[in-house]
Amino acid sequence: MARAPNARVREIAEAFVRHMHAFAREVKLTEAEYGIGIDFLNRIGQATNDRHNEGILFADAIGFSTLVCLQNNGDNGATETAAALLGPFWRMHSPATANGASIVRSPTPGPELFVSCVLKDAKGAPIAGAEVDVWHSSPVGLYENQDEAQADMNLRGKFITDAEGRFSFRSVKPAGYPVPTDGPVGDLLRAQRRHPYRPAHIHFLAHKDGFKTLITQVFVDDDKYLATDAVFGVTRHLVGDYRRHDQGTPPAPGMAAPWYTLDYTFVMEAGEAKLPIPPIK
Ligand code: BEZ
Ligand code: FE
C-alpha cells in the first residue's frame, strides 16, 4: 500500500484492512462464518440493479449512512438544518414542477397534504433560485419505483425557490414503510430480531451554487416508529408539524377535509454544491 500514489487511497485502504483484521481477531471469525460473510457481500451485489440498491440499504441498516451523514454535516441543527441519509430511492431526473402544483401524478388515495417551505441562509436571508428535489412514499408506504399501481415519478418533483426563498406543493400524506426485506439485508434484520420500519417522512434535496447541498427528511410527528427508525435517520429537529385541518379554507382549491399542512424552514450553509451519485435510475 505504501506504493499507492494517492495519499487518501493509502490512508483509507490501510485503515480498512487494519479494522477488518481487528474485527476477525476480536470475534475469532471461523472459516464457515467467513464463507457466510462473503456470500452475504456477493448477494448484496447480486440484488443491486438500476431499480434497487441493496448496498446503500445495507449501509443504512447498520447506521453507517447516518454516521457518515452526521459526521460531514453541520451541528445537528444548531445553525444549518440537520442532514439525514439520502436512502436508496432518490432519482435524479424528477419532473420540474411549478410552485404550488401537485406531485400526485396518478390516482393516489389518502389524506391530502399541502407543504410550504422556505430556504434561508445562515444569516436568515432567503435563498432564491435554489433547486429542491422532493420525494416520498405513498399513503400505503410504497415509492413509485416499488409499485406498479403508481405512475412513473409519482410523488416526486423538483421546485425552484422564489424571490422569498419559498416553494410549496400539493401531495398526499406519506405513510411509514418497511425497508425492502426480500434480500440479504432482510435476512440480517430477521437474524437480529429487528423490525424493518421507517417512520413516515418526506425527502428533500436542496441545491444551489455557493451552498452546501442539503439532503434531509422531515418526519411525520405522530408516527409510532420515530424512536426506532430501522435506518437511524431521525433527529429531533427533523420531526415536522404535520397539522390536521377538519374545516376552514384549504390552502389549494378543491382540497377535501381533513387535509394536512406542513410548514418547514430549511437553513443552508455556505459551501460547495454537489450532487450525490443516484442510487437508482
Ligand atoms: C428511504 O428513506 O427512502 C429509505 C432509507 C433507507 C432504507 C430504505 C429507504
Ligand atoms: Fe424514504
Ligand nearest, relative to CA of residue 57: 1
Residue 69 in this model has a pLDDT that exceeds 80: yes
Give residue limits of the domains in the chain.
47-268
Q: Quick one: CA torsion of 80, 229, 221, 91, rounded to 10 degrees?
A: 60
**The pairing of beta strand 112-121 with beta strand 259-268:** parallel
Provide mean pLDDT across the span 3-27: 97
Contact in structure between 175 and 183 (CB atoms under 8 Å) = no
Enter the pTM of the model. Answer: 0.94
Could you list which residues have their CB under 5 Å from ion ligand 2? 87
| pLDDT tens per residue across span 110-133 | 999 999 999 999 999 999 999 999
The number of the ligand 1 atom at minimal distance from the alpha carbon of 231 is 6
Residue 228 in this model has a pLDDT that exceeds 90: yes
CA atoms of 41 and 51, how far apart (whole Å): 19
Q: How many CA atoms lie within 13 A of 116 on its CB side?
A: 7
Protein residue with its CA nearest to atom 2 in ligand 1: 87
Neighbours of 232 (CB within 10 A): 20
CATH class held by domain 47-268: mainly beta
Enter the C-alpha cell of residue 186: 432482510
Q: Collect all residues with Cβ–Cβ distance below 8 Å to 168 and sequence separation of at least 6.
A: 99, 100, 114, 115, 116, 117, 159, 251
| pLDDT tens per residue across span 78-104 | 778 889 999 989 999 999 999 999 999
Residue 257 in this model has a pLDDT that exceeds 70: yes
Residue 75 in this model has a pLDDT that exceeds 80: no
The number of the ligand 1 atom at minimal distance from the alpha carbon of 180 is 8
